[in-house]
Amino acid sequence: MFQSYDAPKPKKVPTLSQYLKKTKEPKSKPFNSVELVWLPDQFDNVTLQTQNYRIVLGDNHPLYKATIEYFQSEGTLDTNIRAQVTDWAKGTFEISPGSEKGNWAKAGNNGYRWKPDK
């Protein structure tokens, strides 16, 4: 099951669109670990937050339902998630499992924070 802890207030990061507008495209496309996930509550969307940007998935996005199901599944969630911008001009991205060891801990009512093993 999930571990729980009192999460500090997350830092405000720009949306993916805002980030792409203000950041120069790198020569290589780096992966960004998803550090925080918010499931629908006050807003009907899923948010995946990295240290650089946040991706907001509306209820008609293909990853919306799959993300909710993953975090509502029984058992331990020990696979981290990473995001990669695949096309800077179009703002497209890819989500994939990462290899970092750790687990997702409950943060607040509808959030999950990635806690890497030390």
Q: How high is the mean pLDDT in each 10-residue block of the chain (118 residues)?
A: 58 92 89 94 92 95 92 80 93 92 91 91
Q: What local confidence, expressed as pLDDT, does residue 43 receive?
A: 84
Q: What local confidence, expressed as pLDDT, does residue 4 receive?
A: 57
The pTM is what? 0.85
Q: What local confidence, expressed as pLDDT, does residue 3 receive?
A: 58
Q: Tell me if 86 sits within 8 A of 92, measured CB to CB.
A: yes
Identify which of 79, 115, 112, 84 has the alpha carbon closest to the alpha carbon of residue 97. 79
End-to-end Cα, the chain, rounded Å: 19
Task: Report phi then psi at 95, rounded to 5.
Answer: -115, 135
Q: What local confidence, expressed as pLDDT, does residue 12 receive?
A: 86
- How many angstroms separate the CA atoms of 111 and 45, rounded? 12
Domain total for the chain?
1
Q: How, if at all, do strands 54-58 and 45-49 pair?
A: antiparallel
Range of the domain at 18: 3-116
- How many angstroms separate the CA atoms of 51 and 36, rounded? 9
Q: What local confidence, expressed as pLDDT, does residue 83 receive?
A: 96
Q: What local confidence, expressed as pLDDT, does residue 76 receive?
A: 64
